[in-house]
Amino acid sequence: MTAILVAPLPFTVVSGDAAANRPVSNLSKNPPGLVWRVGGETASFVVQVDAMFDTIALIGSNLRSFDTIRVRVAATAAATVSAPSWDSSAVQAWSGTKIDGAGAKTIIRAPSTMVSRYVRIDIGAPGHLDGFIEAQRLVIGKAVAHDAIDRDAETTWVDSSPSYTGPNWSAFDAYPTVQQTKAAMSWVSSDAYHAEWAPFLSRVGITTPVLFVPFVEDVGRHQTTALFGHVQQSIPVRHPAWNTHNLELTVRALAP
């Protein structure tokens, strides 16, 4: 199954529903606790990006599996309603099994690379018991892709809660456990490596968070396999031949 990585493009908020202290602009920020929120059962916003993209993801939301998200793309903000160049239609926010306490991840792939710059997102959550709609991060970007990750990938559930111990007792300042995935990708073609992977890896380093989806087609397992976070160390790339390249990376999810 195809594996992708997406670095979020910067975006400008054009308009949108939001609580006064939980603006749409929070969807571009990574520190824990900075979220976008709007009261009620429906929400929409429009953002502008300045580069091509093919992936839109809403990370860390409180949406239920049967809530809906619709993405429309156009050359102007007004045209996202009147004449979109692409309309995802209303899609299910997520499917499969989500870990209790974890925010939902909605990952939508456009059928081709989008060149229009305005993106409108509409969300419907009728009867939501929270009484509001919330999300942690909006990722819009162009994916780098490979046919599949190698066998023997590794998932680690990382608990960084500080501990305090004494004779026969332990106490903790509890923090959320986050997912970490280590995976290798072999036989990346020379064309793909030089045109896509090398520029991407150079740009993100360990400081820019990325969306890592090891199995794009397996939508029912995105909640337990996809993650948004930082690469944990330098990424080694081996070159077994002049026209093939093998890389390995470890990505740890950001705290909610």
pLDDT on residue 100: 79
Token pair recorded at residue 173: 């300042």
pLDDT on residue 1: 87
Classify domain 146-253 at the CATH topology level: Elongation Factor Tu (Ef-tu); domain 3 (2.40.30)
pLDDT on residue 242: 85
pLDDT on residue 33: 84
Contacts 24+ apart (CB under 8 A), 94-98: 94/63, 94/65, 94/222, 94/223, 95/65, 95/219, 95/220, 96/65, 96/219, 96/220, 96/221, 96/222, 96/223, 96/224, 97/223, 97/224, 98/65, 98/223, 98/224
If DSSP states are collapsed to H, E and C, what string results for 161-225?
Answer: CCEEEECCEEEECCCCCEEEEEEEEEEEEHHHHHHHHHHHHHHHCCCCCEEEECCCCCHHHHHHH
Q: Which stretches within 92-156 are classed as H helix?
A: none
Task: Tell me the whole-structure pTM to 2 decimals.
Answer: 0.93
> Counting Cβ atoms within 10 Å, is residue 10 exposed (0-12), middle (13-18) or buried (19+)?
exposed
The architecture in CATH of the region 3-144 reads Sandwich (2.60)
pLDDT on residue 255: 86
Q: Where are the domains of the chain?
A: 3-144, 146-253
pLDDT on residue 233: 87
pLDDT on residue 238: 94
Name the residue type at position 39. Answer: G
Tens of pLDDT, residue by residue, the chain (256 residues)? 899 999 999 999 999 999 999 999 999 999 888 999 999 999 999 999 999 999 999 999 999 999 999 999 999 999 999 999 999 999 999 999 998 778 999 999 999 999 999 999 999 999 999 999 999 999 999 999 999 999 999 999 999 899 999 999 999 999 889 999 999 999 999 999 999 999 999 999 999 999 999 999 999 999 999 999 999 988 999 999 889 999 999 999 998 8
